[in-house]
Amino acid sequence: MKAGIVSPKGHPQAMGLDKFAEIVEKNSGGKMKIQKFNDGTLGDDKKMMEALQGGLQEIAVITTPPVFGTIKEFGIFDFPLVFKNEKEADAIMDGPIGKKLLDKLPAHNLVGLAYWENGFRSITNSKHPIQKADDLKGLKIRTLPNQIHLEAFKTWGSNPTPMVFAEVFAALESKAIDGQENSLAVIESHKLYEVQKYLSITNHLYAPFVFLVSKKYWDQLSDEEKKIIQDAVAESTKFQRETNRSMAKKTLENLKSKGMQVNEMPAEEVAKMQEVTKPLIDKFSKDVGEDLVKELFSELEKLRK
């Protein structure tokens, strides 16, 4: 099986894939093997998703925005400032809402087996620390080519610039853009500290990965083979999330040691950012599905009680 991810070796996503491959091989007595492709060797997330749909690739662990392009309900993961911590995110991903979304994939020639963790996203830039919501004004920030992200950053007063990730380092280096937003693991593994001075912990978005299998391939497997993959996914999901979380603290220290100035945005400033994006969530709820959005916020309310 060809399995592709965009992260380089050493990233928690790559470590999760190593763990998955190891379990599959062990539990199948060496009959099933995973050929791992890191660092976007098989293309970006969108390209890999299309390869799965066409049956040209067996497995990919990708971010959710490309899926949102096909299945609108996946847009709930693009809403800013929804989750307060990983515990809330796990409860939603592993609960009825997460399952409801995975159940929509087979109609699009995909099988979704689990959610891995990319993590909370924060903002880096080369101009100044972002200590208050107003500090975002005027900054040219690379965002994902995604309408919800673009509008959120516009609402915060910055100048969002959609761009594929492969072009980001060069654009930061040439100062074509001032900054970008990503998880700490991505900031470290792609050496963005070489071209960015300031890291502001905003945790403005929680980003999962979704573990996908080509339906064309899945349908050819025996029940026993499917179970081997499902068991390996369950075990490697737990491992990948734990690894991502345990590495976050170390990653932050590494980024500081590489010369990045790190600050945490105060809770009252994050609340201001949240306040101005509320109308945006109302607006996009119509596209994503109002009932699903209501269910998401009602689940979160229950968890917080």
Instruction: Give 93-135 pLDDT, tens digit per residue.
Output: 999 999 999 999 999 999 999 999 999 999 999 999 999 999 9
Q: Is 111 exposed, middle or buried (0-12, 13-18, 19+ CB in 10 A)?
A: buried
- Do the beta carbons of residue 276 and residue 155 sit within 8 Å? yes
- Do the beta carbons of residue 143 and residue 149 sit within 8 Å? yes
Segments forming the whole domain that contains residue 160:
2-304
Give residue-wise pLDDT tens across range 8-60.
999 999 999 999 999 999 999 999 999 999 999 999 999 999 999 999 999 99
> Tokens 């693991």 label which residue?
185
- C-alpha distance from residue 266 to each of 16, 207, 263 (Å): 32, 21, 9
pLDDT at 59: 98
CA distance 48 to 58: 9
Q: How far is CA 17 from the centre of its chain?
A: 15
Element (H, E) at 141: strand 140-143
- Do the beta carbons of residue 13 and residue 116 sit within 8 Å? yes
Specify the number of domains making up the chain. 1
Give residue-wise pLDDT tens across range 126-185.
999 999 999 999 999 999 888 999 999 999 999 999 998 889 999 999 999 999 999 999
Give residue-wise pLDDT tens across range 258-267.
999 999 999 9
Question: Looking at residue 227, which CATH number applies to its domain?
Answer: 3.40.190.170
Put simply, whether the predicted model's pTM sits higher than 0.85 gets the answer yes
What are the structure tokens assigned to 71, written together?
């299945």
Query: Span 254-273, mean pLDDT?
Result: 97
pLDDT at 285: 96
pLDDT at 145: 82
CA distance 97 to 291: 11
